[in-house]
């Protein structure tokens, strides 16, 4: 299937590792030019080199902390300078921490507001004018299964990601006339560094081996295993491509059937 991404201009936020990295890798495979971002410059450059060595596309690293407004402004200045316009924005960020509601501090809430909600608000707000100039665009927000079924220890994710989902639904209606399609994808359990570190903490908390903990979780997923970043990226890149011409304002979970909600 031709995803119609050859020579298209793509920005993937938080993409030096994990899901974001694999999504960037797939866009490059399709022949797009991709800007990748992350906070750790060494890891980011290593990822760009790794992808550039095997792909036809061109991957450019740009150090950005998505929680900082000035970093987002600098990044979009670079996008304009480097690309001129923008075809695709994949809005991603690190996950907010686990908190205990009664013990939580107001700072926890403001930090998650910046990390999870405002990083998307700011990046989408800056991407849309570049897409309007381009005459078309695609936006995909990487959320979590928490937007359909709350995850008890991830209160901050449940709350702020739902806000971004509502933003995407609202904007999808407003910008369809500009040929900008906006969708949300929610990972269930995709095997990345973050997933393994959450599993490790839970295994320690429950005094079991990491392998035992992971086996039990995988048994509870109808497909019987964690998803791979590659499986996640296939669906994400389709929605964020010009092959997608009629899906907008939707949320799709990539979760192996884990969540009960429709």
Which residues form the interface with ligand NAP (CB under 6 A)?
14-20, 37-40, 43, 64-67, 92-95, 115, 142, 144, 187, 189-190, 192-195
Q: How is residue 108 written in tokens?
A: 């926890």
The residue (of 20 and 57) whose beta carbon lies closer to ligand NAP is: 20
Do residues 109 and 31 make contact, with C-beta atoms less than 8 angstroms apart? no
Burial (CB < 10 A; 0-12, 13-18, 19+), residue 4, is middle
Rounded least distance, CB 79 to ligand NAP, Å: 15
Rounded least distance, CB 28 to ligand NAP, Å: 16
Alpha-carbon distances of 109 from 101, 141, 159, 165, rounded to whole Å: 10, 21, 10, 18
Beta bridge pairs of residue 63: 38
Instruction: Tell me which DSSP letter residue 40 carries.
Output: -
Rounded least distance, CB 124 to ligand NAP, Å: 16
Do residues 116 and 161 make contact, with C-beta atoms less than 8 angstroms apart? yes
The residue (of 142 and 184) whose beta carbon lies closer to ligand NAP is: 142
Q: Where are the alpha helices (DSSP H) in 135-259?
A: 155-175, 193-205, 210-219, 229-239
Rounded least distance, CB 254 to ligand NAP, Å: 9
d(CA 97, CA 232): 22
d(CA 73, CA 24): 21
| 137 φ/ψ angles, rounded to the nearest 5 degrees | 180, 165
The residue (of 192 and 241) whose beta carbon lies closer to ligand NAP is: 192
Rounded least distance, CB 33 to ligand NAP, Å: 19
The residue (of 60 and 136) whose beta carbon lies closer to ligand NAP is: 60
The residue (of 57 and 187) whose beta carbon lies closer to ligand NAP is: 187
Alpha-carbon distances of 171 from 13, 82, 262, rounded to whole Å: 19, 26, 22
The residue (of 144 and 248) whose beta carbon lies closer to ligand NAP is: 144
Rounded least distance, CB 144 to ligand NAP, Å: 3
């Amino acid at each position: 299937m031709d995803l119609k991404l050859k020579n298209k201009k793509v920005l993937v936020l938080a993409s030096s590792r994990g899901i974001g990295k694999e999504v960037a890798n797939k866009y490059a495979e399709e022949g797009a030019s991709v800007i990748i971002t992350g906070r750790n410059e060494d890891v980011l450059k290593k990822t760009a080199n790794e992808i550039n060595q095997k792909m036809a596309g061109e991957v450019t690293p740009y150090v950005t902390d998505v929680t900082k407004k000035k970093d987002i402004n600098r990044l979009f200045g670079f996008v304009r300078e480097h690309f001129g316009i923008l075809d695709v924005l994949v809005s991603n960020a690190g996950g907010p921490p686990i908190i205990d509601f009664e013990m939580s501090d107001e700072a926890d809430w403001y930090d998650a507001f910046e990390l999870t909600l405002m990083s998307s608000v700011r990046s989408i707000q800056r991407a849309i004018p570049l897409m309007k100039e381009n005459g078309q665009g695609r936006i995909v927000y990487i959320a979590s299964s928490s937007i359909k079924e709350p995850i008890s220890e991830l209160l901050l994710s449940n709350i702020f990601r739902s806000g971004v989902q509502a933003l995407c639904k609202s904007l999808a209606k407003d910008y369809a006339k500009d040929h900008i399609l906006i969708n949300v994808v929610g990972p269930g359990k995709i095997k990345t560094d973050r997933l393994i570190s959450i599993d490790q903490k839970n295994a320690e908390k429950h005094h079991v081996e990491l392998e035992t903990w992971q086996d039990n979780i995988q048994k509870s997923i109808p497909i019987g295993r964690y998803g791979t970043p590659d499986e996640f990226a296939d669906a994400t890149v389709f929605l964020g491509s010009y092959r997608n011409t009629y899906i907008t304002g939707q949320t799709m979970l990539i979760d192996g059937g884990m969540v009960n909600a429709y």
